[in-house]
Structure 1
Amino acid sequence: MNVSQEAAAEATFAREGSLPRVPLPTLEASCERFLAWCAPLLTAEERAATEAEVTAFLRPGGPGRTLHAALEEYDATEGVHSWLDTFWPYRYLGRRDRIALNANFFFLFQDTGQGQLDRAAGLVAGALHYKRQLDEGLIAQVEQRGVPQSMVQNAYLFSTTRIPGVPLDTVRAPYSDQEPGPSTARHIVVFFRGTMFRLDVVGPDGVPHSLDEIEAGLRAVTKADVHTADEDRAGHLTTMARAEWAAARASLVDGHPGNARTLDDIETALFCVCLEDFSPEDTQTACDELLHGDRGNRWFDKAVSFVVYEDGRAGINVEHCELDGTTILSFTDALLGTPPEEHSIRSGARSQGEPVPRPLAFELDAPLRAQVRSAAEAFAAYGNDTATRTVSFGDFGSTAAKALGVSPDAFVQAAYQLAHQRAKGHLGATYESIATRQYRHGRTEAMRVVTPETPVFVAAMDDPTADRDTRRAAFRAAASAHVTRAKECQAGGAPEQHLWELELIQRRRGGELGIDEQPALYRSPGWLTMRDDYLSTSSAPSENIQYFGFGSTSSKCIGIAYVLLPDRFNLYLSTPRAVAGQMHAFAEHLREAVAELRGLLAD
């Protein structure tokens, strides 16, 4: 397919260099905002202690000045896209716990009524069409309210795999120095009952197989007379803590030369398709299985894994290190917004003979088999120790919120705070992810939701002496403060990632910079309290998905993944099972809070 010069000029990544750089806040601005952000969660004594540490951090010649100067120098270095270029790998690839359930996220797609293989083949065809457009620069740059957004994450949708390492993981991906340009892989990896198969879905000339042939290849997978014993299902190893998995992976490669070839097939595959041999009993179970279903039928390090149940319901599990929800939303909207037949035709697919699946297997010795077994058992127990819940409002959405004269996100975030206060008896640090893709290589910013107006609002709502006007005014003030802070974050004016990167610079380069110890700011009540999540929230608005979800981020945190659309509002909640009662109380109070706030604002 020839690409016209005009289309090539609009190539997907072509405008990245013209996007503005992520602004680097001044040290004073971040410290001032940090104090303001943590203050509502602190006692007077804790505030004073935190202020003292900020003063020490900011003093002339103090550690803050030295670290910030190093960051300014880095930001001005040729080839650096953003002062966050090093932050993101350390934030995501530096985490040492398991990424399955703890970091990967999922979308449950809308049902189509298709059968399993029909549905799976359609997803493959749609993804192949998207890849072909991406390779040829034909994916239009996303715009939000007319503002162009960064498209670099699209480079990590295909043939991208996280590789475990010590002390950091790495990423194997196309568009890199090691593998320049788009992925040349022609295969996907299909999982069925714990057995992996390589399935070539693109012909030698780069043309996708026809929809019928892809479906026939998937059917052949389900009919193959191959059984992988539980202890040979190496996908379980991807559920381990990262350093342990890195050691196990080294043993895999060292133990048998064929294992390196199998790993190469998995890591270079365009994506994974996980065919399940069961149908979830309900929507919540479908979500849970997308988040932490295993049975050796996943490779959690793969950037993109489509999961299709026996009854045709489907979703996606995403490895988070290079991909955020906004990019996956654009990708899945492109997949799900067009019929599979049309994707197939537009991609230039043609009949080339049915692709023949080839089983992939690892040679495992006794110690590795023992590791597979223990990894499977440990992850199953971890999943069982996670409590989840879906909450759905069929009569409320962003249209209703706007009709009440309030920002939809401000409305639901205020409702979360009121529900949390009533469920637990206090407020707590609340994280909200704010997209900042309008900047070069932009990703997200960390917003802290509890403003000084928040405690005033929740107190007024539960004060029997407060009248309706008082409560309404308190709500309006809290909602307005929320919108103001969200805009600050979008404009690059949030303190947390800036101060966090300064801490990381001290860890990486403290010796050379003459700062041998972690600055006391990072042990202050304000820093520890502001970042100790009680609620971790993120939104994914799309008509094509039912639910979005992720695991909670601490021992007492409720993860809140929400889909807020004009006519509906769906949430997936997760928390450690030990505190499940608080999550269920929160869900009940949230229902009441939404109704109560609608009533309050309606007149």
Structure 2
Amino acid sequence: MAEAHQAVAFQFTVTPEGIDLQLSHQALTEIYRSGLRSWKKRIIRLKNSVITGVYPASPSSWLFVVIAILATMYTRSDPSMGLIAKIQEHLPVSQSMSSQCQTVVSAVLFSTLLWLLLIFTMRLCLKQLLSYHRWIFEQHGKMSTTTKVWVALVRIFSGRKPLLYSYQGSLPNLPVPAIKDTLKRYLESVRPLMDDTQYERMTKLAGEFESRLGNRLQWYLKLKSLWASNYVSDWWEEYVYLRGRSPIMVNSNYYGMDFLYVTPTPIQAARAGNTIHAMFLYRRKLNREELKPSRIPGTVIPLCAAQCERMFNTTRTPGEETDTVQHWQDSDYVAVYHRGRYFRLRAYQAGRLLSPREIEFQIQRILDDPSAPCAGEAKLGALTAGDRIPWAQARSKYFSSGLNKRSLDCIEKAAFFVTLDDDVQGMMEYDPAGTLDRYAKCLLHGKCYDRWFDKSFSVVIFKNGKNGINAEHSWADAPVIAHLWEYVVATDCFQLGYNSEGHCKGDVDPSLAEPQKLTWKIPPECEERISQSLAVAQALADDIDFHVISFRDFGKGKIKKCRVSPDAFIQVALQLAYFRNRKTFCLTYEASMTRLFREGRTETVRSCTNESSAFVKALVGGESADVCRRLFRAASDTHQNLYRMAMTGAGIDRHLFCLYVVSQYLGVESPFLKEVLSEPWRLSTSQTSIQQVELFDLVNHPEYISCGGGFGPVADDGYGVSYYIVGDSLINFHISCKHSCPDTDAHKFGTQITKALHDLLDLMSPGQKEPSKTEEGRPELKKNL
């Protein structure tokens, strides 16, 4: 194989005439350029570490402080109040230097210490400023004087041109809420779900827990919060994600979609070329910390960027008791799956990133490759889709050495995974709703063996040029992947583009080595394991009922005119839809981020409240419009307050979860915590918002809108609902449930959501009802389907 020959830099043979040494100039050049690229990355990392380490000051400020101190000394004044003289007395090399040189060295040392002290003080001040959260509870458009002063101080102490990780050392630690407050809020959250007898029993359990075991467990949590950067995140990753032994496909992984109306090119290889190239451009920006730090929209408040560190070159490795997340510093290739074969596709040649046209050329080589899969290779990926223990056992027994280990290492150490899918997906004009449902379901689980679900993320390129992404959940949450995906699809269309024939732009280097086909030696026993995992995964995939709604009747524009938060409006609509669908209320999960704190991830907003249930009962019961409007306002305000509390570290569920973990470490049982942690989330919801609005000009290009993404149901008898608010006039809903539950139906629930949205808008803005356009295609956009 060509790539095997080029991997040999030199050969030598011993002959009667001596040693015959043969050097490969091309291979040595490749080694030199690859090494040069590696050293450049190390230097960039070192430089960024220095810049981030001294932030909010800059390295050049050290020189300013040194010059200022030396200047004051020459004016016969001593700004150090005698410290420079003390340093001079204790210089270890004072005997070998002149008196003037000793003074200068001592002044430089004092200046450096003073500079470090100033940096520490500035960082401490910024950390204290970022611990102020009253601003988030203030009424929109009415900023208090205190908050105005605070904003000004944050701007002053934030420095200029921060790198991606510049704020990490200044972010506050997540506080541990008072146990009394958490229990009070918990009891309020379950009141609408229990009758008087059940509620009285739960109140008694909570009281006994607080008076007996709670304070002891709380003490351990406070101790951890003083020691660790975040008292929740490591346990959350370990016990919620990595210790789960059921399939991560559907149960944990989630997906993101392509543009809803536009397919930039129908050529599969071309779309792959631009997509892969854009991914590596993003990784380059990530490694150089050139991405702007994420902030709360419309504010100067930074969000934690720690989750970005493991985005690329990362995989989840199965274990019998717990999985682990492995991350490598660098990888210059991607792993590609096509028709049962796995390939290694190098993205760099002679130290440079391949152009989109060159990657397209390499992808086309894979598509045209007629070779058959090795025995057992075609459905190998099913191991990552089934239960974790059989996968861990198979990995240890069949993939721990030799050829199989080398091929598996190639997949796991790749920058990311790429699937070249033979299916045609996307919203089609002949059946917009049905084809969108199939598209979402395909991205969630595919054929159960044509994705590598353990990789940090897998990019899927379909035969007709549509694409999508499937992400593993343990290493990061959806907003992090959404940030990457926004950049990729925008760069693909608006910066890289395609020529008139639909191919990527640029030229091809004819010396490119062919992609390397991975080879395997899989015994029959392992093939049996693969078949068993596939059966488990296939049964799970077949049970998933999925429905995607592209709701175009109205969006956040009209909702805001009602002076209501769009998120609160949708959450109350979901409560109304669920009650109409199931004739009862349920424990509702809405994901909120805690990235205002260092290493923060998520918190739960319990959206089913006393206020929302009172409103739903009033509306369904036929109360007057005035009464319903008043109750709706109360429900909306309560939800907004709960969301803000979750964001600022005053949530319920992560605190209770950590108390439970401590109880398990101590070997003590708590009937209260055991019951709380076993309660099913029958309605699990999440909003994905557009973060990089500067990348999308939706006014001039309204067709370039994404459909968002979704996830599987959390409970066997519940729904998973993801929604994506796009612009002022579009909301996309991704609804999942299970066919095996007779009480759930994704399409019926979708119909109830649509009706609830219209009913709420009619209630809050009477006389403005419009005909439904949700199930109709927009005429001006149909040509792009």
1:72 is displaced (CA, Å) by 1.3
Asked if 2 retains the 8 angstrom alpha-carbon contact of 1:447 and 1:486, the reply is: yes
Q: How does 1:57-206 map to 2 (within 5 A)?
A: 57-59=209-211, 62-77=212-227, 80-110=229-259, 111-114=262-265, 115-144=267-296, 145-174=299-328, 183-205=329-351
Aligned to 2:174: 22
1:113 is displaced (CA, Å) by 2.9
Asked if 2 retains the 8 angstrom alpha-carbon contact of 1:3 and 1:136, the reply is: yes
**Any unmatched runs of 5+ in structure 1?**
175-182, 511-515
Partners of 2:449 and 2:363 in 1: CA distance = 18
Partners of 1:228 and 1:369 in 2: CA distance = 13
SS at match of 1:579: coil
Alpha-carbon distance change, 443 to 397 in structure 1, aligned in 2, over 3 angstroms: same
Aligned to 1:484: 641
Partners of 1:585 and 1:304 in 2: CA distance = 31
1:88 is displaced (CA, Å) by 2.5
Partners of 2:627 and 2:303 in 1: CA distance = 41
1:494 is displaced (CA, Å) by 0.8
Partners of 1:355 and 1:35 in 2: CA distance = 64
Q: Equivalent of 1:558, from 719, 730, 745?
A: 719
Asked if 2 retains the 8 angstrom alpha-carbon contact of 1:20 and 1:440, the reply is: yes
Aligned to 2:765: 602
**Any unmatched runs of 5+ in structure 2?**
1-39, 53-161, 429-434, 498-505, 691-695, 697-704, 767-785
Aligned to 1:263: 408
Aligned to 1:370: 528
Partners of 2:319 and 2:178 in 1: CA distance = 34
Partners of 1:296 and 1:119 in 2: CA distance = 22
Q: TM-score, normalised by structure 1?
A: 0.91
Q: How does 1:172-571 map to 2 (within 5 A)?
A: 172-174=326-328, 183-205=329-351, 207-228=352-373, 231-232=376-377, 233-254=379-400, 256-280=401-425, 282-294=435-447, 296-339=449-492, 342=495, 353-464=511-622, 466-507=623-664, 509-510=665-666, 516-524=667-675, 528=678, 531-542=679-690, 544-565=705-726, 566-571=728-733
Alpha-carbon distance change, 355 to 429 in structure 1, aligned in 2, over 3 angstroms: farther
Partners of 1:588 and 1:80 in 2: CA distance = 44
Partners of 2:581 and 2:204 in 1: CA distance = 34
Asked if 2 retains the 8 angstrom alpha-carbon contact of 1:556 and 1:576, the reply is: yes
Asked if 2 retains the 8 angstrom alpha-carbon contact of 1:201 and 1:355, the reply is: no
Partners of 1:501 and 1:429 in 2: CA distance = 20
Asked if 2 retains the 8 angstrom alpha-carbon contact of 1:129 and 1:343, the reply is: no
Asked if 1 retains the 8 angstrom alpha-carbon contact of 2:545 and 2:745, the reply is: no
1:295 is displaced (CA, Å) by 5.3
Alpha-carbon distance change, 120 to 298 in structure 1, aligned in 2, over 3 angstroms: same
Q: How does 1:26-65 map to 2 (within 5 A)?
A: 26-59=178-211, 62-65=212-215
The letter of the residue matching 2:721 is I
SS at match of 2:563: coil
Asked if 1 retains the 8 angstrom alpha-carbon contact of 2:173 and 2:229, the reply is: no
The letter of the residue matching 2:454 is D
SS at match of 1:573: strand
1:518 is displaced (CA, Å) by 2.1
SS at match of 1:107: strand
Partners of 2:413 and 2:276 in 1: CA distance = 16
Partners of 2:318 and 2:554 in 1: CA distance = 43
How much is the aligned-residue C-alpha RMSD, in angstroms?
Answer: 2.3
Asked if 1 retains the 8 angstrom alpha-carbon contact of 2:629 and 2:764, the reply is: yes
SS at match of 2:190: helix
The letter of the residue matching 1:224 is D
The letter of the residue matching 1:326 is P
Partners of 1:600 and 1:340 in 2: CA distance = 41
Identity %: 27
Partners of 1:84 and 1:156 in 2: CA distance = 15
1:523 is displaced (CA, Å) by 3.8
Asked if 2 retains the 8 angstrom alpha-carbon contact of 1:230 and 1:296, the reply is: no
RCO greater where, 1 or 2, for CA within 8 Å and sep 6 or more? 1
Alpha-carbon distance change, 376 to 89 in structure 1, aligned in 2, over 3 angstroms: same
Partners of 2:468 and 2:461 in 1: CA distance = 7
Alpha-carbon distance change, 330 to 355 in structure 1, aligned in 2, over 3 angstroms: farther
SS at match of 1:545: coil
SS at match of 1:88: helix
Alpha-carbon distance change, 45 to 355 in structure 1, aligned in 2, over 3 angstroms: farther
SS at match of 1:166: coil
1:3 is displaced (CA, Å) by 6.3
Partners of 1:343 and 1:151 in 2: CA distance = 27
Aligned to 2:770: none
Partners of 1:239 and 1:42 in 2: CA distance = 37
Partners of 1:569 and 1:93 in 2: CA distance = 33
Partners of 2:761 and 2:436 in 1: CA distance = 27
The letter of the residue matching 2:199 is R
Partners of 2:585 and 2:218 in 1: CA distance = 32
1:586 is displaced (CA, Å) by 1.8
The letter of the residue matching 2:333 is H
